[in-house]
Amino acid sequence: MSRTVGVGLLFLAALVACTHFKQSPPPAAEPTTRSAPDLPASSETPRAPPSVESPPTGSPAAESPAAGPPSAESPPSPAPTGSAAKPAQPKTAGSAKPKTPRVTGAPAAGSPAGGSSKPLPAEQRAAPAGAEPATPAAAQAATTQPVAKPPALDLAGLERRLKDTHAIGLFTKLSLKNQVDDLLGAFRAFHGGQSQPPLAELRQRYDLLLLKVLTLLQDGDPPLASAISASREAIWGLLADRDKFQKIQVS
Amino acid sequence: MRCPIYVLVFTAAALLAEGPSFGADDTSFSNDLKATIALQGMPCDQIIEAKRNGDSDYTASCKDGNRYHVFVNPKGRVVVQKL
């Protein structure tokens, strides 16, 4: 009996030790979570909580400027809120680092989002940082694209590719060439003033011919089809302008 | 007298491999003629027969019953005449 009692005591002691060991870490974790809202605590652990807390801090910060009499200044509102939010940091200076991002997120999320959506500030923290460089990149791409378009109009290259493509048969190529020559003749007459088909009619014929070419190419040679389609307006610009058209004729 | 099965298999494979090449040529030329006819604004759903009359001179029969004379005239223009 004594053995069983001894074993039972040992088992009980082990259980208590285990339960005590299990409980000990949670208290350590709990204080951190508690400490975060409170104030000083550790600066590392609160990183998660700050996102949770940020809305409340943001909303008061937004409210505080809004509470001010000149709150009505609507357009500049983001700037004032941001400026107001930055001063709000020193107020909570005790929590320091975690709250600085809160404040940056708070003005953007701002007053309208409110505290209801807590994850929003966290997203907005990343969003402004990513969005700001993205817009210049997009702007650069937009600026580079127009520069790249002029070289895309390589008439000789397109002509060579059309001749070399296997997507169109010989009869069809010859037939297309006939129609292209007819259209060029019409443009020549238009610019020469011999006959005056309206430019709209020429545009219609041009579109129809291009449509035929694209229809023939779209299955057999998609890259060439897309290249021709991309330079559609540029080619029309050459055809419609008398000087450019004459240069083409000369060359 | 028993014919080895692998001989039959290789023969069938050779025939099958040979067939599509001719068919592809026919198909591509039929498509060329069909596109040429369509470019002239004439109807032809499918070419079922193309008879060669001479250099760049063909008579095409379409599945819908239309027949066309497709040729290149001395000026170098492709002409499609309905027969």
What integer pLDDT is reported at residue A87 of this predicted model? 39
B65 against A77, higher pLDDT: B65
Burial of B4 (0-12, 13-18, 19+ CB in 10 A): exposed
Cβ neighbours of A179 in B, within 8 Å = 39
Q: What number is the average pLDDT over the span A111-135?
A: 42
A156 has a pLDDT exceeding 60:
yes
- Dist. CA A31–CA A173, nearest whole Å: 81
Q: What number is the average pLDDT over the span A16-36?
A: 47
A224 against B19, higher pLDDT: A224
What integer pLDDT is reported at residue A12 of this predicted model? 60
* pTM, rounded to two decimals: 0.48
What integer pLDDT is reported at residue B12 of this predicted model? 54
B30 part of contact set with chain A, CB < 8 Å? no
Interface of B with A in 7-26 (CB under 8 A): none
A122 has a pLDDT exceeding 80:
no
Q: What number is the average pLDDT over the span A238-242?
A: 88
A176 part of contact set with chain B, CB < 8 Å? yes
What integer pLDDT is reported at residue A243 of this predicted model? 87
* Sequence spans of domains, chain B: 5-82
Interface of B with A in 34-73 (CB under 8 A): 35-36, 39-40, 56, 70, 72
Q: Which residue is closest to B57 within chain A, CA to CA? A: A171
